[in-house]
Amino acid sequence: MDAGYASASVATQHGGEPNPLDTTVLCLLSLDGGGVRGLSTLYILKGLMTRLNHERQNAGLPNVKPCEVFDLIGGTSMDGLIAVMLGRLKMDSSWLPVNWSGKVKARFDSAELRSAVEDAISKTDAFSADAFNDGKKRGCHTDGSYTLPDEGEIPATICQAALATSAATVFFDTVSIGARQFVDGALGANNPVDEVEGEAGNIWSSDTGDLKPLVKCFVSIGTGHPGKKALEDNIFIARWAKHYDEKRYFRFNADQGLQEVGLAEYEEQGRMEAATGEYLQHQAQKLRVRDCIKNLQQKQSVYLDDFA
């Protein structure tokens, strides 16, 4: 990537007071980039959350949102935008990023994307010009909404952060924040799982350098296309093989039915939803989904007072 540009992947950190039953239990969520195909990750996440909340209802517990379950949510490209909305703005997984039926059209217009993002933000209790890092503790706040020791802070607004991570150069203009320019994070990290791991390590295991013992559940959701980083992704999976075997690492990716969906083909929303639904109903995936839900059910760090 050219000097002066930065890859804008987004991560969100779960806040709240420590629960003594949950001091060494982290749940992490990584969302692949992939343009409009990023909707597939949202459909998969929605499927997981629907099943989780069904089990919670059966146990007499209230429904939860992703920001109340995951300690860190990372995404890139369109899924960076999704991470901002799920984390910083506390939306649930039924939220649709933008109105694909016509608000943002193929060969997208940057002004239209900004308008769509501002419209989505307006439906929450936040404002587009609110600082990404406002110093407040909340269920989730995005990378930049907390400051790590010895790391500089980028003074971005919520809207700027959302636009920066989804600024694919073939579709949208680059986004300037201060003296820095940002392009779509997927240009360097279509699957941001390494970045999520690194960010979690900086937050929770900087003293030991060993994150794995702290992670109870690591969920990675793809967009149906491995891209050029498939080998690197497999290396990551091999590194987390113990967690996979112990049903603590889960990779979900609707790799069938999305092959012909282009990055900009918003008209294919129905096909993506159908392909994702079929994927989750496959017997092999049913077992993995069941195991993932069992894991997430045990998460204790849910602070409903933070979400009033």
- Which residues lie across from 27 on neighbouring strands? 217
Distance CA(145)–CA(256), nearest Å, equals: 36
CB 221 within 8 A of CB 192: no
Q: Residue 58's CB: how many other CB atoms inside 10 A?
A: 8
184 is annotated as an active-site residue: yes
Question: Which is the catalytic residue, given 71, 184, 233, 306?
Answer: 184
Question: Which is the catalytic residue, given 40, 77, 93, 166?
Answer: 77
Rg, C-alpha atoms of the chain: 18
DSSP 227-264: GGGHHHHHHHHHHTHHHHHTT-EEEE---SS-TT--TT
Among candidates 50, 284, 71, 34, which has minimal Cα distance to 184? 34
CB 88 within 8 A of CB 142: yes
**Which contacts qualify for 57-64: CB closer than 8 Å, 24 or more apart?**
62/304, 64/302
Distance CA(81)–CA(106), nearest Å, equals: 18
Positions annotated as catalytic residues are 77, 184
